[in-house]
Amino acid sequence: MGPDKSPGPDGITARFYQQHWDIVGEGVVTQIRKIFVEGHVPDEWLQCTVTLIPKIKEPDMPSQYRPISIGNVLYRLVMKIVATRLRRHLKGVISHEQNAFMKGRNIVENIIVVRETLQSFKQKNFKQPAFMLKVDVSKAFDKIEWDFLAKAMIYLNVPLNMVNLMLSCYRRAQVSLTINGKRDGFIIPTRGLRQGCPMSPYVFIMAMEMLSRLMSKTQREGNLKGIKLAHSSPVITHIMYADDLVIFGDAHRREIDTINSLLNHFGKASGLKMNPEKSTFWASRACDQAAVHRVMNNLQASVAEGEDKYLGAVIEGGRSGMKTGKMLLEKMRAKLNGWRAQMLSHAGRMVMIKSVLMSLPVYYMSMECVPKSIVKQMNSLMARFFWGKPAEGRYMAPIAWKTICQPVEEGGLDVRDLNIFGETLFMKLVWDVISNEEKLWVQICKSKYCPHIGFWKAKENSNCSKMWRNIIQRRVFFETNVHWCIGNGVDIKAVGQPWFSGWEQQGQVPLRNRKKVIADLYDFNASCWKMEELNAIFNPAQVIQILNSQTVPKRDGGLKDTMIWNQSKKGKYNVKEGYQLMYNQRRVQTTSAASDLWVAIQRWKIIPKVKIFLWRLISGALMLSNNVHRRISAVSPMCQRCGEENEFESHFFFFCHDSRAVWFASNLGLRTQDLSMNIVAAVRQCIGQMNGEEEKIFSYTLWEIWKARNDAVINQKRFDPIQIQRKVDSWGRFDLEGEEHILQLVKERVQDRYWYQHDGYQVILDGSWDMKNNSGSAFVIYKEGELLWIGYKNHTAMDPFHAEVKAVREAMEHLWKIGLQNQQIEIFSDCKNLVEAINENDIENLPSWRARQEVMEVIEVITQFGDKLQLKHVRREAIYQAHILANLARSTGRSFTGVPRYWHNDESQIELRISNRFFQKVQEAPP
Ligand SMILES: [Zn+2]
């Protein structure tokens, strides 16, 4: 459990129990055991507070409040145990039509079923007058009837003691409302599920399962026809994703009446009623006007007009790839508008690209092939952001985006190539078709498009949906690297599927052989292949291959036949390995000359922005006059400082007088006059014998020389070797090693925050102070619950309060810098005096007079941020990350803003986080 998620009405958080487990642990365990034995949760555990948080400034309607319910920690613990047990149970009882909250079942499947239906509806050869109804089950969580739930759970074989336990919790719960910070009386709820209770999603799908079963039963009894998209297609009557219900039906009167009465019946019993205003339907081509009106009048739904969306995805039209792509492009632009590239280093921009921008397309690209032209625009947006250029207008990219997308070993920055990434995401669908016959969408597509010949030989035709065409076009990716792992041999067709090495597509095969599976070719009694069968189907060379292969079907082994993707250890397709493979297949660019140098630099213990600077240096991406001249001949190639030679890298960094003076003063002892004219060779010469400390000094010296040049060019400052030396020395004091574990700690605690579900930005901050007046301030910025940025700084302060003020001030300045004015921002501090002083604009009662001036300044800055910024007081535990960072800054004298390099290698987590977040969104009931 997240230690700092909301505390119970008693004010105790999960952290309390976790930290004092040695004292309270035994008691808690005993009590919870007792609960599961007796089926009775103590009354005080069931108390729950609902806090109404106004959505707007002066609300006067109940709907303008957002209710947040706060349950007792121990109660949530009990429910979590129940939920864990129930989840295991549910896997066996929830039908295939439901896809939400179930492991291994995926939202994308529902979208495809809906799309394929619409596609069929438009075809001439689809003769059934049918309709597809998107049902809005309004306010689903709040309306559900408990009696119904109890019956549903019992029906689904949930153990009786658990049912009783849950029901008694629901029935005896007392909810008190908190408005404007005051608790007000008790409400005894009579129906509905608790938001945020770990049980609620599972209980909800159990309720929906009742409808699902009711419909399936009616269909089996012949009273519901449903639709069949092709002759051998499975009948579909409905699919569900949480409270998203889609019903498929025949447009005849009897069917419509049946559906209507089913929905009414279910609605009355469960409390989950259909909301006609928000329900829409599509009719097939074979429906006449009368049929359409029948659906409209009897089910009170309206015709879905034009384009519509289902679960956030575009579902209609052949150009859905383009539409989705444009939507993605817009999302990306919107993100970029909120950031100011100029305020971030190249390393910082890289982090934003890798962790935020690249994760945007994951959901959409896993069901859609976005056109190359759009991907190109997305790449261009990212490149512009990386080089700090505006989104429009001409500019010159020092290094091609393609190179940046190469892995480090090839001299790149290891950004994923969006073209390949998108392809590998989509490949998951292809893999599903190859490996997973059971998925509903796979069954539908196979029966629609290749009922007789098998997937490997299926051809595209004009009746195919765009998605299927994309799948067919991509199956070649798997053709040579999948094979069947033979189990009992009953799932593998002898023809048309690769099951031995040397397998290839065959020409005409007699009909009677097409249906044969491997088990038919094997004589289990004699333990050998049936030769005449083999010879009838395969050519002699293939027969020898089969006889030589070690694997034969085993009748009693009971193992299922499985498709193996031999590029992966696990044998299953996954995006990461798929990306590797596709990248290698498509690699055209040769490794750059500097790549081994770049690999070596990766291991240096220097901060990321300097590392990326070195990459730019050795890749020829620095805008030195000589480099600019090669592209724009009007620009003089001469050195801006000495004017004697061309400004190429070696000259500028090593040979030019001022730079030589810097190296002369440095204790590295480099003989710069001996270095190569080629920068890559020169750097190699320099670092030959260096130790870690020297590598650091070397890199920071180059960095400072570069910064000084820009200062000279832009701000007309004098190039001062002594100044540079001093700066390099101050870099030298840094020892990033020591910080590593603290930063790791900050990162690992990311999931613990209780504001996880809020929108906008959240900032936690803290100040730290000691008796010698050393102080440190720190802030951590989250965006929609994801860690975005940290900063910590060393100062001197007069007293602890003063340190806190500095912390707010630093954070505000940074937020301003990165352009977050008028964004929804919540700032959390544990300094109550300060929060009150700022919020009430009152500097008369400060605990320390010394900070008066600065508090006034902070108030001024905050006012400029507008109404959407809120400063809130929280307990110290809630700002733990900022707290330890502030201590770090105070005790070590260090400062840092950005994203630490230790956090970079977690791209594999992104996908996961995205799906978690999606999950979260689904879990929240509609407002
Ligand atoms: Zn020069």
Most confidently predicted of 94-103, 134-143, 179-188, 686-695: 686-695
Rounded to an integer, the average pLDDT of 790-798 is 87
| CA 673–ligand 1 middle distance (angstroms) | 13
| CA 631–ligand 1 middle distance (angstroms) | 20
User: pLDDT tens-digit profile of 35-61?
Assistant: 777 777 777 777 777 777 777 777 777
Which residues make Cβ contacts (< 8 Å) with residue 200, sequence separation at least 6? 141, 193, 194, 923
Higher pLDDT, 923 or 72: 72
Q: With helix as H, strand as E and coil as C, how does 459-484 read?
A: CCCCCCCHHHHHHHHHCHHHHCCEEE
Question: Worst-scoring range by mean pLDDT, 100-104, 399-403, 572-576?
Answer: 100-104
Report the DSSP pairing between strands 309-310 and 313-314. Answer: antiparallel
Q: How far is CA 356 from CA 781, 783, 901, 910, 914, in A?
A: 14, 10, 16, 9, 10
Per the CB < 8 A criterion, the answer to whether 340 and 376 are in contact is no
Report the DSSP pairing between strands 482-485 and 302-303. Answer: unpaired
User: pLDDT tens-digit profile of 852-911?
Assistant: 888 888 888 888 887 888 888 888 777 888 888 898 888 777 788 877 655 554 433 333
SS3 of 523, please?
Answer: strand
Q: How many CA atoms lie within 13 A of 780 on its CB side?
A: 25
User: pLDDT tens-digit profile of 704-719?
Assistant: 999 888 888 777 778 8
| CA 644–ligand 1 middle distance (angstroms) | 6
| CA 889–ligand 1 middle distance (angstroms) | 39
| CA 632–ligand 1 middle distance (angstroms) | 20
Angle between helices 657-665 and 692-715 (to 10 degrees): 150
Please enumerate, as own/partner, the contacts of 146-153 that have beta carbons within 8 Å and a separation of 24 or more: 146/170, 146/171, 146/190, 146/191, 148/207, 148/210, 148/269, 148/270, 148/271, 149/203, 149/206, 149/207, 149/270, 152/206, 152/207, 152/209, 152/210, 152/270, 153/203, 153/206
- Could you tell me the pTM of the whole model? 0.69
Please give the pLDDT value at position 747. 66
| CA 651–ligand 1 middle distance (angstroms) | 6
| CA 640–ligand 1 middle distance (angstroms) | 7
| CA 404–ligand 1 middle distance (angstroms) | 29
User: pLDDT tens-digit profile of 876-890?
Assistant: 777 888 888 898 888
The fraction of the chain above a pLDDT of 70, given in percent, is 87
| CA 662–ligand 1 middle distance (angstroms) | 13
| CA 728–ligand 1 middle distance (angstroms) | 21
Please give the pLDDT value at position 515. 75
Cα(701)–Cα(666) distance, integer angstroms: 9
The confidence band for 925, taking pLDDT boundaries of 50, 70 and 90, is very low
The confidence band for 427, taking pLDDT boundaries of 50, 70 and 90, is very high
Cα-based torsion angle of the residue sequence 713, 719, 721, 726 in order, rounded to the nearest 10 degrees: -70
Cα(425)–Cα(367) distance, integer angstroms: 8
| CA 690–ligand 1 middle distance (angstroms) | 26
| CA 719–ligand 1 middle distance (angstroms) | 12
Higher pLDDT, 649 or 846: 649
| CA 624–ligand 1 middle distance (angstroms) | 11
| CA 462–ligand 1 middle distance (angstroms) | 66
User: pLDDT tens-digit profile of 226-276?
Assistant: 898 888 888 999 888 877 788 999 988 889 899 988 988 888 888 888 777
| CA 638–ligand 1 middle distance (angstroms) | 8
SS3 of 768, please?
Answer: strand
Cα(264)–Cα(281) distance, integer angstroms: 18
Cα(82)–Cα(70) distance, integer angstroms: 19
Please give the pLDDT value at position 1. 66
The confidence band for 926, taking pLDDT boundaries of 50, 70 and 90, is very low
| CA 709–ligand 1 middle distance (angstroms) | 11
| CA 718–ligand 1 middle distance (angstroms) | 14
Cα(868)–Cα(55) distance, integer angstroms: 11
Per the CB < 8 A criterion, the answer to whether 452 and 515 are in contact is no
Q: SS3 helix, strand, coil % of the chain, rounded to 5?
A: 50, 15, 35
Per the CB < 8 A criterion, the answer to whether 74 and 14 are in contact is no
| CA 657–ligand 1 middle distance (angstroms) | 6
pLDDT > 90? residue 422: yes
pLDDT > 90? residue 627: no
| CA 642–ligand 1 middle distance (angstroms) | 4
| CA 648–ligand 1 middle distance (angstroms) | 9
| CA 684–ligand 1 middle distance (angstroms) | 21
| CA 672–ligand 1 middle distance (angstroms) | 14
Gyration radius (Cα) of the chain, Å: 33
Cα(24)–Cα(653) distance, integer angstroms: 64
| CA 637–ligand 1 middle distance (angstroms) | 11
Alpha helices in 587-635, H assignment, sequence order? 595-602, 608-618, 625-631
| CA 696–ligand 1 middle distance (angstroms) | 25
Average pLDDT over all residues of the chain: 80
Cα(82)–Cα(162) distance, integer angstroms: 7
Report the DSSP pairing between strands 280-283 and 302-303. Answer: parallel
Rounded to an integer, the average pLDDT of 806-825 is 85
| CA 90–ligand 1 middle distance (angstroms) | 73
Q: How deeply is 287 buried, as exposed, middle or buried, from its count of CB atoms within 10 A (0-12, 13-18, 19+)?
A: buried
Does residue 458 come out as left (phi exceeding 0), alpha (psi in the -120 to 50 range) or beta?
A: beta
Which residues make Cβ contacts (< 8 Å) with residue 147, sequence separation at least 6? none
| CA 606–ligand 1 middle distance (angstroms) | 27
Name the residue among 193, 309, 331, 198 with its Cα closest to residue 919. 198
| CA 712–ligand 1 middle distance (angstroms) | 13
Per the CB < 8 A criterion, the answer to whether 100 and 140 are in contact is no
| CA 697–ligand 1 middle distance (angstroms) | 22
| CA 663–ligand 1 middle distance (angstroms) | 14
| CA 693–ligand 1 middle distance (angstroms) | 28
Cα(896)–Cα(889) distance, integer angstroms: 9
| CA 551–ligand 1 middle distance (angstroms) | 72
Name the residue among 863, 850, 843 with its Cα closest to residue 798. 850
Higher pLDDT, 518 or 801: 801
The confidence band for 614, taking pLDDT boundaries of 50, 70 and 90, is very high
Higher pLDDT, 122 or 5: 122
Q: Which residue has the tokens 């207008």?
A: 393
Rounded to an integer, the average pLDDT of 308-328 is 80
| CA 656–ligand 1 middle distance (angstroms) | 4
| CA 724–ligand 1 middle distance (angstroms) | 17
Cα(808)–Cα(765) distance, integer angstroms: 7
Which residues pair with residue 310 across a beta bridge? 313
| CA 412–ligand 1 middle distance (angstroms) | 29
| CA 609–ligand 1 middle distance (angstroms) | 25
Please give the pLDDT value at position 393. 80
Cα(538)–Cα(516) distance, integer angstroms: 13
| CA 655–ligand 1 middle distance (angstroms) | 7
| CA 708–ligand 1 middle distance (angstroms) | 14
Rounded to an integer, the average pLDDT of 162-189 is 74
| CA 607–ligand 1 middle distance (angstroms) | 28
| CA 653–ligand 1 middle distance (angstroms) | 9
Please give the pLDDT value at position 803. 92
User: pLDDT tens-digit profile of 524-547?
Assistant: 888 888 888 888 888 888 888 888
Q: How far is CA 560 from CA 93, 353, 431, 472, in A?
A: 22, 43, 18, 26
Rounded to an integer, the average pLDDT of 622-640 is 86
| CA 674–ligand 1 middle distance (angstroms) | 16
Token duo for residue 456: 């490997």
Main-chain dihedrals φ then ψ at residue 520, nearest 5 degrees: -70, -20
Per the CB < 8 A criterion, the answer to whether 553 and 544 are in contact is no
Question: Worst-scoring range by mean pLDDT, 226-235, 373-382, 693-702, 887-896?
Answer: 887-896
| CA 643–ligand 1 middle distance (angstroms) | 6
pLDDT > 60? residue 314: yes
Please give the pLDDT value at position 399. 87
Per the CB < 8 A criterion, the answer to whether 242 and 922 are in contact is yes
Per the CB < 8 A criterion, the answer to whether 271 and 148 are in contact is yes
Name the residue among 16, 761, 443, 42 with its Cα closest to residue 2. 16
Name the residue among 174, 264, 159 with its Cα closest to residue 211. 264
The confidence band for 755, taking pLDDT boundaries of 50, 70 and 90, is low
Most confidently predicted of 96-105, 305-314, 378-387, 845-854: 378-387
User: pLDDT tens-digit profile of 473-487?
Assistant: 998 888 878 877 788
Which residues make Cβ contacts (< 8 Å) with residue 720, sequence separation at least 6? 708
Please give the pLDDT value at position 910. 35
| CA 661–ligand 1 middle distance (angstroms) | 12
| CA 652–ligand 1 middle distance (angstroms) | 6
| CA 659–ligand 1 middle distance (angstroms) | 8
pLDDT > 60? residue 161: yes
Q: For 173-202, give one letter per residue: b (16+ CB within 10 A) or e.
A: bbbbbbeeeeeeeeeebeebbbbbbbbbbb
| CA 658–ligand 1 middle distance (angstroms) | 8
